[in-house]
Amino acid sequence: MKKIRVLVVDDSAFMRKLISDILEEDPRLEVVGRARDGIEALKLLRELEPDVVTLDVEMPKKDGLATLEDIIALHPTPVVMVNSLTREGAEITIKALAAGAVDFVAKPSGTISLDMVKVGNELRSKVLMASGVNIALLAHRRAPLSLKEAPQPIELRGEPPEIVAVAASTGGRKRSRSL
């Protein structure tokens, strides 16, 4: 059985070790490298060619969102974002998903989550799922969305509507209209 090769990227040595240990509890997963920032992650990505990357958002030198954009553009690889569970973290997660991340896992108690094991099953299952996604095909088929172009809140004119409905197919694209 071929193991799924994972690159773990987090600026905290403790979190890199903890995430690696959690992933390797599943015999189908193998952590092949660890990086402390986006620059090191991109270097290891080229050298190791992992199947999946777990990527922290807040890092020195090159943050997770900038690193994600480079991964999708230069070496398309499925990415599972790992970030703090905050309002700002939720906004960044939406931007990361729009930029090409496959999924995300929230650190239960902030940047250094001693209780990360609480989300261990979720992390393992999302990495396993991500390994089956063909990012190169998806990146080629969808229009690029820069983080600078991420949707902004719409200002309502006049009376607010009683109902607003939003629908899209699985491959639906954002279409905006003034209300």
User: Using CA atoms, how far apart are residues 83 and 90, in angstroms rounded to an integer?
Assistant: 9
79 forms beta bridges with 53
* C-alpha to C-alpha distances, 158 to 40, 61, 165, 166, 178, nearest whole angstrom: 51, 45, 18, 20, 11
pTM: 0.73
Q: What is the pLDDT of residues 132-144, one digit of tens each?
A: 988 877 655 444 4
Following CA atoms 117, 122, 31, 129 in sequence, which dihedral angle do they give, to the nearest 10 degrees? 180
CATH architecture of 4-141: 3-Layer(aba) Sandwich (3.40)
Per-residue pLDDT tens listing for the chain (179 residues): 789 999 999 999 998 999 999 999 999 999 999 999 999 999 999 999 999 999 998 888 888 899 999 999 899 999 999 887 555 667 787 888 888 899 998 877 655 555 677 788 999 999 999 999 888 776 554 444 454 555 555 555 666 667 767 776 665 454 444 44
Contact (CB, 8 A) for 76 and 133: no
Strands of the 4-9 sheet, one edge to the other: 29-35, 4-9, 52-56, 79-84, 103-107
